[in-house]
Structure 1
Amino acid sequence: MTQKITIDGKDYAVGKLSEEARNQVVNLRVCDQEIAHLKQRLAIAQTARAAYASGLRKALASAEVVEH
């Protein structure tokens, strides 16, 4: 089965691309993987932040309010 890639709505057989084009396809795939990884890390950080904010709200609920 021929591996295909779609760019700007056109299908291309990867095996028929120039070496330079194949290298760029690899670069794009690496970038896509890194973006997916960073999105996962961001989701983890956002979840942790929400948990810390919740903990802070609970701690503040029992704290004495000091006004200036």
Structure 2
Amino acid sequence: MNKELLPLGCFHIPLYKRFHFYLGIGAMLFLLFAVFLVSSYSSFLVLFPIALIVMYIIMLIGSNLYTVYFH
């Protein structure tokens, strides 16, 4: 979103600058590792690209989800 379209005194903090974003990525990678340990290699090859696509979508729309207001 452009800064010109935001109300005066508001701006977006991108999701990648927040701690919970990296915590979520770490949790997803941990779950992928756990799935890899208990499943066959072929199912891991299916789950890994899906998880990467989900993380990419979160990175694309995430910066538009958080607005910080300063008064």
Q: TM-score range by the shorter chain?
A: 0.3 to 0.5
Give TM-score scaled by structure 1 length. Answer: 0.37
Please say which structure displays the higher CA radius of gyration: 1
